[in-house]
Structures are given as C-alpha cells and as structure tokens.
Amino acid sequence: MPIIDAHTHYYPESVFQNPREWALSRNETHWADCVAPLGKPSIQGWADIDTFLQDMDAASIDKAILLGWYWQNHDTCTEQNQWYLAAIRQHPDRFIAFATLNATAGKAATDTIHWAIDHGFQGIGEIHPQVQGHTLRDACWQIIMEAACDAKLPINLHVTEPVGRPYPTKVETPLQDYVWLAEQYPDAKLIYAHWGGLLPFYELNPAIQGKLQNVHYDTAASPLLYDSTIFHQVLQTIGPNRILYGSDYPLRLYPKTQKQANFRPYLEEINNLQLSPPDHQAILHDNTARLLST
C-alpha cells in the first residue's frame, strides 16, 4: 500500500549546521527556541534531501508533503519556499510542497499564493496565527482564506493541545476560532494539525456537529502528545475519512529511544493498532490523495 505523509518539514544543511545562529540572524526567535532551546536538549532532528529520501524508502513512504514553518517574517517564508521549489523540481514524484506565508505581510502574502500556484505548490501551511502576529478572525487572514478557497488549495493550520504539559514555546490556539473558521468558510479545505487539539471530540457536542465537515485532522507528533489509542477513539467519533497520517518528520517522536529521526517507529505503532484494512488505507493514503486531487 502506498503511503503519503501529510506533515513533514525540510531544512537544508546550511540551516541545521547552526540552527540557532541562522534563526536569530533572521529574527526568528520562536523557531530558534523550538528547535535549539538554550540549556536543554532538543527533540528536533535534521535530514538533508538524500537522508530524507532514504528514510522514506526504508519506511515504504511513497510521497511526503513538505509543510512550511510559521515564520514570523515574510522574508523567511520566501526563503523556505525557495528550498521547497528546488525539492519538488528535483524530486517531483516524491515531494509535494505547501507554501508558507505570514498573513501580516499583506499583499506580499497574497502574492505568495499566486506564486505558489504558478510553481506547482499544492497547498498552504503550516500556519500558526498566534506566533505570526494575527488571529484567524483578522482581516489579513480572511484575505488569505478567500484567495486559498478560490484556488481550492488545502490549508494546514497548527492547533495546540489545550491541556497537557506546559513548555516554553507552547502558544495557545483558541479552539473556538478554529470552529468559527470552518463555519465561516465551508468550502475551504482545512487541515487541523496534531489531531486538531482534540477538536474531533468536540464534534460530539450538538452545538458543534456539522460545523467541521470540511476539516481534516492530521496525526503529526501524536506519540509526543497522546496515547496511541487516540486513533481508535477518533475513528469511533468521526469515522475514517477525515484523518490524515502525518509524522512531523524530522522531529524525534520517541526521544528516549530515537537518536536520529526516521519514519518507521511511528508507522510500526500505527500498524500494531490493527486498524481495519479500509481504515488503515484511508488514513495512510486515500484521504490525503483525495484532498489533494479535489
């Protein structure tokens, strides 16, 4: 069965040789604290393109979506989009690129959408409004939503789990705003990352039911956040058709045992859940393929 990883990130070696120095030279303080925190080990892994492809092959992953980071500055968004353009030109059969942008850049941000379409990008994200200086209800973001909807581009949004362990780079994302967004733009193709901060379970609430039908949830970083039974629980709650397998590679999802990033441990964990073959295929391939093709 082919597998599509709907949530990965890529940084060239020039970045990860000294990530903190690189980030601070661009005033990307949040990313610096995420990947290279001071005084504590990082769970961030790194992989050049060759290593990335080798890890994909070792795990039988057919394609990976390269998601942008939620940069604080427009110029950094542009820089990462250029890395991704090179990647999809070199390996169009393996990589799918989503463009990153910062809505506060105004026209430059909307111009990024048109540039992305012209250069073969297939979506927008990962976006984290609160880190980037706006909310989902701000006019600058609504302009982005309208442009992405017109182009029928999927949009991946970071959603923070509202409860759980605190950590210095944790920035809250009000879940009500994500419900509002889906309701406001029912034709949008929305992907709420990291199980949507457990929004699938709120779909049991009569006041929420039906408002999130255009939302898909990816499973990125799940081993760092939740027990693996979350797969069965969400399947029971919303069914199989809106769950997208995503790893957050090259994040080390099992930092106690995993020295280098790779895809296999997480896929083995999913395989051990003994999901039904149709559900397994829907999550690991079919749902993402359908979202990209519609």
CATH code for the domain in which residue 253 is found: 3.20.20.140
Q: What percent of the chain has pLDDT over 70?
A: 100
Q: Which of 30, 268, 258, 4 is nearest to 160 (CA)?
A: 30
Give the chain's mean pLDDT: 97
Indicate the number of domains in the chain.
1
Per residue in 51-83, pLDDT (tens digit) is: 999 999 999 999 999 999 999 999 999 999 999
Which residue carries 């990125």 as its tokens?
Answer: 220
The predicted structure's pLDDT at residue 167: 75
At residue 294, does pLDDT exceed 80? no
* Mean pLDDT, range 183-188, rounded to an integer: 97
Q: Which of 82, 148, 62, 63 is nearest to 109 (CA)?
A: 148
Contact 13, 50 (CB under 8 A): no
Residue 224 and residue 217: Cα distance in Å, rounded? 16
The predicted structure's pLDDT at residue 18: 96
Residue 4 and residue 94: Cα distance in Å, rounded? 9
The DSSP letter of residue 154 is E
The predicted structure's pLDDT at residue 168: 72
* Mean pLDDT, range 251-259, rounded to an integer: 96
Domain of 185? 4-293
- Compute CA distances 120 → 3, 12, 62, 81, 153, whole Å: 21, 20, 18, 11, 11
Per residue in 130-146, pLDDT (tens digit) is: 999 999 999 999 999 99
The predicted structure's pLDDT at residue 162: 87
Residue 98 and residue 126: Cα distance in Å, rounded? 8
The region of weakest confidence among 117-121, 160-164, 250-254 is: 160-164
